[in-house]
Amino acid sequence: MYYRTLRGMGVIAAGLIVFLLTGCDSPVFELQVVNAGDYTLTSVRLVRYEEDPAAQAQAFEEAENLLPKDSTNTTIPLASGETVTAPHILRADSYFVALTFFVHGAYIEHIEEAPVDFTGLPDASLVVMTVKRQRPDAKSEPEVEISFVYY
């Protein structure tokens, strides 16, 4: 029992040392998503910007959906007019925004062409991302608007 306790304390100490040595030198922020559009959001991903194309492709593959999940690990969609706070803390970095909407029985993905730069954010900021996908009129293609405000 004594050996297990010492071993456990050693593992915790080693983990703490690694964490402190690697540093958390970039600020972190919390993300709140507001769906101000007409369609349900099923996925919100912030994909870290990478200069290398292969690394960027890998980042898109590994990016996690930031919407909360229920007890069965199923993503809880964000209906029109709803707001949710992402259950993850994010590092202030540059990210591509990738969204998936549920539109008339189909999943439609939208990826912003340019990354959004969060590197200048104060530490522990709350970033509110407002997403709007709507059709201005019956003949037009739906438009996606994304805006960010931080507190």
At the second CATH level, the architecture of 26-150 is: Sandwich (2.60)
pLDDT of residue 135: 77
The single residue listed with the structure tokens 């972190």 is 28
Q: Using CA atoms, how far apart are residues 95 and 93, in angstroms rounded to an integer?
A: 6
The number of helices, as runs of H, and strands, as runs of E, in the chain is 2, 8
State residue 137's pLDDT score.
75
Beta strand segments in 51-105, E: 83-91, 94-103
* pLDDT value of residue 142: 81
Per-10-residue mean pLDDT, the chain, length 151 = 48 43 70 96 97 96 95 96 94 96 93 95 95 81 91 92
Q: Where are the domains of the chain?
A: 26-150
Amino acid at position 1, single letter: M
| Helix or strand (DSSP H, E) at 16 | helix 2-22
